[in-house]
Amino acid sequence: ELPPDATKTRTGRPVPVLAPAVSKRLATRLDSGSPWLFPSPTDQAKVWDPRNRDRKLAALYWELAEQLHIEMFEYERGHSWRTTNNTLLYDVLPEATRTRLFGHTAAVNRQRYTAVTSTEAVVSAAAGIFEK
């Protein structure tokens, strides 16, 4: 659950985790005793400084871009995941539900964060991946 102060829109919302393996790993982190899902790597009792976190994530994306030859990761970050999830769920969830989950208006979601109009093949492929 994201509290209002953790979102751009200042509206709290639930954040579902679609991959069972990721959900299990996050649940284990939450049960670790740290008050944060992603605490400081050097001290689990401290919050991870957002500036350091952002620099480390940018470096990770550059590494992924280079090693996996994913050119998009040279300049895209979290918004690519919003587009992926919005697209995967386009035919599965009502638009109002997706806008609450991803934190933008319906018009913004349609214009900027949805890659196609029919996603049956993408959803089917993703279901096969997550079932493994």
Domain edges within the chain: 18-76, 77-132
Q: Helix 120-131 and helix 78-88: axis angle, to 10°?
A: 110
Handedness of CA 86, 87, 88, 92 (dihedral sign): positive
pLDDT score recorded for residue 132: 56
Average pLDDT along the chain, 132 residues, taken 10 residues at a time: 79 80 88 82 84 87 91 81 81 85 81 69 71 61
**Residue 29, burial from CB neighbour count under 10 angstroms (0-12, 13-18, 19+):** middle
